Structure 1
Amino acid sequence: MCGAELSSLPDGVQRVARLLQDQGHPHLPVMLDDAARTAQQAADALGIAVGQIAKSIVFRRRADDAAVLVVTSGDRRVDERKVEALVGPTGRADASFVKARTGYSIGGVAPIGHLQAPVTLIDRELFRFDEIWAAAGHPHGVFRLRPQDLERLTGAPVADVAQEPGA
């Protein structure tokens, strides 16, 4: 992607694309025809298993008002007790908090390129897959990566933060 191609993308996707380029990541964002605000919508649009979607869930840490980003597999739910055991008490983050801290709207929160660096946790369930897809800063934008790439790009620890299937 060259500068002209980047400038035609939404701002959030441009930010993600530049970061990926700077890190030498081999896959730049792609724009889907339809919005992929949910993991299921993204998986359907890409023709992949919903578990291959790296969904970004943002919480608000009570002690210091920090954003806590949990990146988990699209077929799993975050276990808030497990997250709190690692980072302290949290609460749900509303849309305005998410936008102010990350620079992205809910439904397009990328795991990288946040306005303010969040506390980030990567769910180990993503490592079931060789290839995953994450939001690229816009509800229509996604990018391909491996779980190991996510770990490298974010510098975040891998943790057990998902509910048990069927819980």
Structure 2
Amino acid sequence: MTNAVDDFSAHLRRLGATGEVVEFETEVPTAAAAAELLGCEVGAIGNSLVFDVGEEPLLIITSGAHRVDTRHVSRTLGLGRIRRATPEFVLAATGQPVGGVGPVGHPEPIRTLVDRHLENYPTVWAGAGTKHRMFPTSFGELLRITGGTAIDVSAG
């Protein structure tokens, strides 16, 4: 019988990702908690945030040092209103709970944007499907494995 860690790890391998999933004894539901546990800058944490754009999911992987400016993203991409998704919407779209959403491993592909600020870090830590797991990656690898688009997520 396989478990969620094995499934997520297998998915990463299929995508050619290089990092191994790390499981923690405590939850790491926030960038600050993850950075403290990992001993890295909060900016090196890639938060996977799901938004609702006309009932379609939009995944924005943002640096833990940034807040997503939804108006800026909407104007930049010519989208309609971008709203923070409900926990139920996130779970339905990703199969993963809020606070543990990974950039991949979702039931269906999700349009993904990756914060350009993450390029400043040689190692980016991203969620691995639960609040107890993360994996190391890079900005370039995040773009590749998600099919994402690099973007400045804040106007400032």
What is aligned with 1:47?
39
What is aligned with 2:94?
102
In structure 2, stretches of 5+ residues that fail to align are none
Using the aligned pairs only, state the percent identity: 37
C-alpha distance 45-163 of structure 1, shift in aligned 2 (>3 A): farther
Contact 1:76 1:163 in 2 (8 A): no
1:15 is displaced (CA, Å) by: 3.3
Mapped to 2, the partners of 1:163 and 1:44 lie a distance apart of 27
What is aligned with 2:66?
76
What secondary structure does 1:14 align onto?
Answer: helix
What is aligned with 1:160?
152
1:163 is displaced (CA, Å) by: 4.7
What is aligned with 1:125?
117
Contact 1:59 1:69 in 2 (8 A): yes
Mapped to 2, the partners of 1:90 and 1:15 lie a distance apart of 31
Q: Aligned Cα RMSD in Å?
A: 1.4
Q: Write the letter of the residue equivalent to 2:17.
A: H
What is aligned with 1:32?
24
Asked if 1:14 is matched to 2:6, the reply is: yes
What secondary structure does 1:51 align onto?
Answer: helix
What secondary structure does 2:67 align onto?
Answer: coil
Mapped to 1, the partners of 2:130 and 2:35 lie a distance apart of 15
TM-score, normalised with respect to structure 2:
0.93
In structure 1, stretches of 5+ residues that fail to align are none
Contact 2:126 2:136 in 1 (8 A): yes
Mapped to 1, the partners of 2:49 and 2:154 lie a distance apart of 12
TM-score, normalised with respect to structure 1:
0.87
Stretches of 4+ moved more than 6 A in 1?
A: none
